[in-house]
Amino acid sequence: MADNLQTQALKRPFKLSFEFFPPKSEDMEAQLWETVDDLAGWEPEFVSVTYGAGGTTKAPTLAVVRRLIAQTPLATASHLTCVGATREEVANVVEEFRAVGVKHFVALRGDPPTGVGSAYQPHPGGYENAAALVAGLKDLGDFEISVSAYPEKHPESADLAMDIDMLKRKVDNGATRALTQFFFDNDLFEQYLNRVRAAGITIPIVPGIMPILNLTQLKRFASMCGTSVPAWLDERFSGLEDRPVVRAQVAAEIAAEQIADLQRRGVDEFHLYTMNRAPLVNATLQQLGLNKPQQQVKTTAPFAESATA
């Protein structure tokens, strides 16, 4: 790692948050909680748990959120989408999550039920977009509300100006933070941030950082999200297909370099997409010269309890 990324700071010089997703099997459940136990030691500002469009993961998301709130010190946010649901159904979901202690939602429209790239149609009697969902959440309670932002615009937006206008509407309706789609070109992010500020949007725009577990899979996902993948990533990973240890080291270096460069540009908050795996996140933060201020935080509830709660 380049020497200029190494620091002796005892206190992390930026805010940090993590994203998890609900597991689909016992093995994935075990991996999730091992990851939570490990990453809790970094003392994130909050963690978030994803939620499938149309409530397809409501039960497992609720189970994960309940356990995070009950058994860890982590401030926990739940994602919430409005695809495929009426306003009444969304309100019922909000009440379920409020009942287990959720005070922070990441409000998203969600992908069309037929998949990314297909035309979106608001559900009859539902919220037409994320801005309307934010307004609905504010009517339901005094929640902290984060929303999404897209440095390279949402794939369905006609242009970046329209995309920023939607973000402005979400902020006007009560959003207090925006978490961005992952990106790899910091110049694009800085240009986007300048346009966002020029539009009168003053809430924190938190870069979403995606440490690269698998470059091929990442490219496939990025193509659906409208995220560009620069050619230099191929060069950095070239020849490492059969060298997993070196490949992981390079991935951590790339993520750490991106964070360090954004820090130099004045960014002081980052949201890491963990993919429910701790090693690469740990390695990224360690590449920045950081040490965990705490030891692991152990959760103890068995799989059966959390899966059926």
The residues annotated as belonging to the active site are 19
Please give the biggest Cα pair distance in the chain. 56
CB contact at 8 A, 276 and 24: no
Cα–Cα distances (Å) from 75 to 22, 120, 126, 144, in that order, read 17, 32, 29, 11
* Interatomic CA distance for residues 220 and 92, integer angstroms: 35
Other Cβ atoms within 10 Å of 130 Cβ, number: 24
Residue among 23, 10, 47, 35 at smallest CA distance from 281 = 35
Side chain identity at residue 14, one-letter code: F
Contact predicate 41/296, CB 8 Å:
yes
Range list of β-strands (E), the chain? 15-20, 46-49, 76-81, 104-108, 144-149, 177-182, 205-209, 269-273
